[in-house]
Amino acid sequence: MIIWPASFLALLGWTILAVALFRRWSLKRSLLDIPNERSSHSEPTPRGGGVVICFSSLAAFLVYYLATGETVPVYFFLAALIVAAISLADDLRNISPFYRILFHGAAALLVLYQFGGFRFLHVPFLGTVETGRWGALLAFLWIVWMINAFNFMDGIDGIAALQAITAGLGWAVFGFSNGGGEVGVLGAVLAVVSFGFLLFNWQPARIFMGDVGSAFLGFAFAVMPLFYNRTGTDADFSAKLPLYGVVFLWFFVIDSVYTFLRRLFRGERVWEAHRQHIYQKMVIGGMMHKTVTSIYGGFSLSLVLILIGAERLMLPFGVLWLALAAETLALLLIGIRMDRKNV
């Protein structure tokens, strides 16, 4: 049991060192994010630090499989590398949205081949529902959406890394508590690596993760519920997993969906870069990056704790729905207020 804390501490130390070295290399190579009219930063800042997040996470996860002798999910690793490759290419030179989505879709198909789709869903107040043929399509859309949503939400200092920490901790606790060792380890790895990166990404950020980091994190968290498909879990347990996946990322989901629909109804080109997310408008309205990041992180952590409490301490799930509704309403009211102020 002692080896796990020591391993995670070593991973944290490696991440800090690797980010520092990558930042120094980026400065020498002038691999910088130059501010423009859509930027939330004012100084040229090294970018692409998500390479460390991606490859450190995958390496640590591979070590886990080799150490335990469990079957390596080869297609998952291949899909993750595809997402990382197209995202890194986009960081270095702008790639057409069509080609990005094409590669994201290919990665999602590999995951479905490896794990299958969502066989069951837990629908609030209705219980467990069998998805039938729709399960694969729902999983496909969920993966592609979260790859892009996480990328969209990585627009101010620290917000994506802090979200990854809270979601990673949620999956770590859930995985280790429910016999899902690989889910627990992957969640913990993502949380540890993201924390190491956050030390450099907190306001004022000294490095950005870029698409290669945010897209990889979105992919990894989207796939997390599907890992349990290999263990033959019962219907009620399997149905809860997509719910956990959504709740752990809820405020990234609701902000990205709200902004997408708002721009769609206004006839805007939804695939183009913009600064119309709720969190971006909060910054434009005068709030500091770290304040907005802390609000999103606090909201997310509260839902993680409530959901884990409902699972482990037998708290009524109604508490989760009330908290989720109240915090969602608060965020949407902020967005509506910013819209009325034309921020």
Average of per-residue pLDDT across 153-182: 91
- Mean pLDDT, residues 95-106 taken together: 94
Query: Model's pTM, two decimal places?
Result: 0.93
Note the residue count of the chain. Answer: 343
Which position has the higher pLDDT, 291 or 44?
291
Arithmetic mean of pLDDT, 220-234: 84
* φ, ψ (nearest 5 deg) of residue 266: -90, 0
Which pLDDT score is estimated for 45?
85
pLDDT at 340 over 60: yes
DSSP label of 40: S
The pLDDT of residue 6 is: 86
Could you tell me the end-to-end alpha-carbon distance of the chain, in angstroms, rounded to an integer? 52
Three-state SS annotation for 8-29: HHHHHHHHHHHHHHHHHHHHHH
pLDDT at 39: 55
**Average model confidence (pLDDT) across the chain:** 89
Q: Quick one: pLDDT at residue 237?
A: 82
248 falls in which pLDDT band (50, 70, 90)?
very high
Q: What is the DSSP string of 183-233?
A: HHHHHHHHHHHHHHHHHHHSSSPS---HHHHHHHHHHHHHHGGGGGGGGT-
Domain ranges of the chain: 8-30+45-340
Given a contact cutoff of 8 angstroms between Cβ atoms, the answer to whether 325 and 299 are in contact is no
Which pLDDT score is estimated for 1? 46
Lowest mean pLDDT among 40-49, 237-246, 261-270, 324-333: 40-49
Q: 2 or 9: which carries more pLDDT confidence? A: 9
Cα four-point dihedral sign 107, 109, 110, 115: positive
**Residue in 98, 88, 135, 95 with CA at minimum distance from that of residue 115:** 135
Q: For residue range 108-125, what is the model confidence (pLDDT) as tens digits?
A: 999 999 999 998 888 777
Question: What pLDDT does 298 receive?
Answer: 95
H or E segment and range at residue 67: helix 50-68
Q: Which residue in 208, 164, 183 sits closest to 52, CA to CA? A: 208
Tally of helices (H runs) and strands (E runs) in the chain: 13, 4
pLDDT tens for residues 5-62? 889 999 999 999 999 999 999 888 877 777 666 656 567 888 889 999 999 999 999 9
Q: Are 79 and 42 in contact (CB under 8 A)?
A: no
pLDDT on residue 202: 96
Q: For the chain, give the percent of residues with pLDDT over 90.
A: 58
Confidence of residue 234 (pLDDT cuts 50, 70, 90): confident
pLDDT at position 223 is: 96
Report the pLDDT averaged over residues 251-276: 86
pLDDT of residue 38: 60
In this predicted structure, the answer to whether residue 206 has a pLDDT above a threshold of 60 is yes
